[in-house]
A and B are shown apart, each in its own frame.
Chain A
Amino acid sequence: MAITWKKTMLAASLTLTLAATGCGSNNANNGASSEGASGSASAPASSSDTGASASASAASGEKVDILLGYYSDEKSDSKMKELIGQFTAAHPNINVKTQSAPYGQFYQKLDTQIAAGTAPDVWLSDGVYVMKYAERGAAKDLTDWIAKDLKADDYYGLEYNKDANGRYWGVPQGIQVGVLFYNKDMFDKAGVAYPTDDWTWEDLKTNAAKLTIDAKGMTEGESGFDKNNVNQFGLTFFSITEGWFSVLKSYGGGVLDETGKKSAIDSAQNKQAFEWIVDGMNRGIVTDPVDLKSFQSNTAVFPSGSAAMRIGLYARVLAANEAGLNYDVTVLPKGPDGKRVAPVIANSWVVNAKSSDAKAQAAWEWIKYWATQDDVQKQWAELGEAVPVKKSVANSDVFLKAGAQPANRQAFLDSLGFAQTLDVNAVWEEWVGKFNDNAQKAFLGDTSIDDALKSANTDVQKVLDDFYLNK
Chain B
Amino acid sequence: MDQTIKQAGRPDSRAFPAARRKRFSSEGRWGLIMVSPYLIHFFVFVAGPLAASLYFSFSDYDMLNPPKWAGLDNFARMADDPLFWRSLWNTLYFAVLFVPLQTLLALVLAVVLNQKLKGLKWFRMAHFIPVISSWTVILYVADAIFNPRFGMANALLTRLGLDPQRWLQDEALAIPLLVIIAVWKGIGYIMVIYLAGLQSVPGDLYEAGEIDGAGALRKFKSITLPMISPTTFLVVIMSTISTFQAFEQIYVLTGRGDMGSAGGPNNAAMVLMLDLYREGFTYMRMGYASAIAWVLFMILFALTMLQLWGQKKWVHYD
A interface with B by C-beta (< 8 Å)? 7-8, 11-12, 14-20, 22-23, 26-27, 29-30, 33-38, 108, 111-112, 114-115, 132-133, 136-138, 228-229, 239, 289-291, 293-294, 296-298, 427, 429-430, 432-433, 436-437, 440-441, 444, 446, 470
Query: Are B297 and A37 interface neighbours, CB within 8 A?
Result: no
Q: Which residues of B contact A111 (CB under 8 A)?
A: 63-64, 281, 284
Taking a contact as CB atoms under 8 Å apart, the answer to whether B50 and A16 are in contact is yes
The 8 Å CB contact of B296, one of A19, A29, A136, A427, is A19
Which residues of chain A are within 8 angstroms of B166 by Cβ–Cβ distance?
Answer: 290
List residues of chain A with CB within 8 A of the CB of B308.
7, 11
Contact with A along B19-31 (1 / 0, CB 8 A): 0000000000000
| Residue in B46, B244, B251 whose CB lies within 8 Å of A33 | B251
B266→A26 contact, CB < 8 A: no
Task: With A8-B305, A17-B46 as known contacts, state yes or no: A293 contacts B257, CB within 8 Å.
Answer: no
Contact flag A115-B63 (CB < 8 Å), given A11-B308, A35-B257, A293-B168 = yes
Known: A36-B136, A38-B257. A20 touches B64 (CB 8 A): no
Asked if B245 and A23 sit within 8 Å, CB to CB, the answer is yes
- Inter-chain CA distance A36–B282, complex, in Å, is 20
Q: Which candidate, B10-18, B104-112, B144-152, is the interface stretch facing chain A? A: B144-152
B114 at the interface (CB under 8 A from A): no
The CA-CA distance from A417 to B64 in the complex, in Å, is 35
Contact indicator A136/B65 (Cβ below 8 Å): yes
B300 lies within 8 A of A136 (CB): no
Whether the pair B149, A37 counts as a contact (CB closer than 8 A) is no
Q: Within the assembled complex, what's the spacing in Å between the Cα atoms of A14 and B304?
A: 9
Task: State which of A12, A17, A229, A427 has its C-beta within 8 Å of the C-beta of B301.
Answer: A12
Q: Is the CB of A294 within 8 A of B266?
A: no
Q: Pull 22 A–B residue pairs with CB atoms less than 8 Å apart, ordered by A.
A: A11-B301, A14-B304, A16-B301, A19-B241, A19-B245, A29-B248, A30-B248, A30-B251, A33-B135, A33-B136, A33-B252, A35-B257, A36-B134, A36-B136, A37-B139, A111-B63, A115-B64, A136-B64, A239-B260, A293-B147, A296-B256, A446-B266
Beta-carbon nearest neighbor of A26 in chain B: B247
Q: Which residues of chain A come closer than 8 Å to B255, judged between CB atoms?
A: 34, 37
Complex alpha-carbon distance, A427 and B275, angstroms: 16
| B 286-318 contacts with A by CB, 8 A | 293, 296-297, 300-301, 304-305, 308
Q: Find out whether the CB atom of A15 lies under 8 angstroms from the CB atom of B283.
A: no
**Cβ B304 vs Cβ A11 within 8 A:** yes
Q: Nearest CB to that of A432 among chain B residues? A: B260
A429 CA to B282 CA, complexed, in Å: 8
B36 interfacial contact with A, CB 8 Å = no
- Of A37, A114, A138, A470, the residue contacting B136 (CB under 8 A) is A37
The smallest C-beta distance from A437 to any residue of chain B, in angstroms, reads 6
User: Any chain A CB within 8 A of the CB of B169?
Assistant: yes
Question: In the complex, are the beta carbons of B266 and A437 less than 8 A apart?
Answer: yes
Beyond A22-B241, A293-B148, A437-B267, whether A112 also contacts B63 by CB under 8 A is: yes
Taking each of B149, B166, B265, B282, which has the highest tally of chain A beta carbons within 10 Å of its own beta carbon?
A: B149
Task: Give chain A residues whose Cβ lies under 8 Å from the Cβ of B241.
Answer: 15, 18-19, 22
- Contacting pair A441 B266 (CB below 8 A): yes
B256 near A293: Cβ-Cβ < 8 Å: yes
Q: Nearest chain A CB to B235's CB is how many angstroms away?
A: 14
**A11-B301, A19-B241, A26-B247 given; A294·B148 CB < 8 A:** yes
Q: Distance in Å from the Cβ of A208 to the closest Cβ of chain B?
A: 18
Cα A115 to Cα B62 in complex, Å, equals 9
Q: Provide the bound-state CA to CA distance between A18 and B300, in Å.
A: 10
B134 engages A114 (CB within 8 Å) = no
Q: How far is the CA of A290 from the CA of B277 in the complex (A)?
A: 24
> What is the CA–CA distance of A318 and B283 in the complex, to the nearest angstrom?
31
What B residues does A298 contact at CB under 8 A?
258
Q: How far is the CA of A390 from the CA of B297 in the complex (A)?
A: 53
Please name all residues of chain B whose beta carbon is closer than 8 Å to the beta carbon of A296 when the two chains form the complex: 256
Nearest chain-A residue to B137 (Cβ)? Answer: A36
Taking the closest CB of chain A, its distance from the CB of B205, in whole angstroms, is 28
Shortest Cβ distance from residue A150 to the other chain B in the assembled complex, whole angstroms: 27
What's the nearest-Cβ distance from chain B to residue A30, in Å?
A: 7
Taking a contact as CB atoms under 8 Å apart, the answer to whether B256 and A16 are in contact is no
Q: In the complex, what residues of B have CB within 8 A of residue A444's CB?
A: 265
Q: How large is the interface on B (under 10, 10 to 19, 20 to 34, 35 or more residues)?
A: 35 or more
- The chain A residue with its CB closest to the CB of B237 is A14
Within B224-281, the residues touching A (CB, 8 Å) are: 241-242, 244-245, 247-248, 251-252, 255-261, 265-267, 273, 277, 281
Q: Given contacts A20-B50, A23-B245, A26-B247, list 13 more A-B pairs with CB under 8 A.
A: A8-B305, A14-B304, A15-B297, A15-B300, A16-B297, A19-B293, A29-B248, A38-B257, A136-B64, A291-B149, A293-B148, A433-B260, A436-B261
Residue of B nearest to A430 (CB): B283
Interface string of B148-182 (1 = CB under 8 A from A): 11100000000000001010110000000000000
Residues in chain A near residue B283, CB distance under 8 A: 427, 429-430
B192 to chain A, nearest CB (A): 19
Indicate if the CB atoms of A290 and B257 lie closer than 8 Å.
no
Contact check, A136 vs B266: say whether CB atoms are below 8 A apart: no
- B71 close to chain A: CB less than 8 A: no
Q: Which residues of B contact A297 (CB under 8 A)?
A: 256-258
User: Would B301 and A26 count as touching, CB distance under 8 A?
Assistant: no
User: Do B150 and A294 touch across chains, with their CB atoms under 8 A apart?
Assistant: yes
In the complex, the answer to whether A293 meets B65 with C-beta atoms within 8 Å is no
* Cα of A19 to Cα of B301 in the assembled complex, Å: 10
Across the interface, do A137 and B169 meet the contact criterion of CB distance under 8 Å?
Answer: no
Q: How far is the CA of A446 from the CA of B169 in the complex (A)?
A: 12
Q: Answer whether residue B100 sits at the interface, using C-beta atoms and an 8 A cutoff.
A: no
Interface-centre pick from B135, B136, B251 (highest chain A CB count, 10 A) = B136
Q: Is B49 an interface residue (CB 8 A)?
A: yes
Pick from B65, B247, B256, B260: contact of A37, CB under 8 Å: B256
Of A7, A12, A37, A432, the residue contacting B257 (CB under 8 A) is A37
User: Which of B65, B134, B257, B260 interacts with A137 by CB under 8 Å?
Assistant: B65
**In the complex, what residues of A have CB within 8 A of residue B135's CB?**
29, 33
How many Å lie between the Cα of A34 and that of B259 in the bound state?
9
- Kindly report which residue of chain B lies nearest to residue A294, judged by CB atoms: B149
A459 CB to nearest B CB, Å = 10
Q: In the docked arrangement, what's the CA distance between A444 and B308, Å?
A: 46
Known contacts A15-B297, A16-B50, A293-B148; is-contact A33 B257 (Cβ 8 Å)? yes
**Measured CA separation A50–B245 after assembly (Å):** 41
Q: How far is the CA of A453 from the CA of B129 in the complex (A)?
A: 47
User: How near does chain B come to A69, taking the closest CB pair, in angstroms?
Assistant: 15
Residue pair A293, B169 in contact (C-beta under 8 Å): yes
CB distance A133 to B64 under 8 Å?
Answer: yes
